[in-house]
Structure 1
């Protein structure tokens, strides 16, 4: 049996990814993919990210 673990990212990396998404027209998921990270690694889908990363028109 293998204990499969994904790559760990620092809290700073995650914050910067969310900040980048907020300051652009991209979602956290898009930014994460652009950075080569799994969207969940940057908090995409978490309630905290959803409540703070919604874009206004």
Structure 2
């Protein structure tokens, strides 16, 4: 939905600055409501949220 945007998980950051995104329902019809992975340029998202791992929470 263009109004609300899309949320996905970054699974890997590549040396060239692109990253592998893993998500669900982030593709236009008829491929919506499907699990996917894709390589994306870092300029595409409007923001990233960083969730610390257990080690960093200590």
Determine if the TM-score, normalized by the shorter chain, exceeds 0.5: no
- Structure with more contact order per residue of length (Cα contacts < 8 Å, sep ≥ 6): 1
Structure having the larger proportion of residues in helix = 1
When Rg is computed on C-alpha atoms for both structures, the one with the higher figure is 2
Structure 2 length as normaliser, TM-score? 0.28
TM-score (norm 1): 0.28
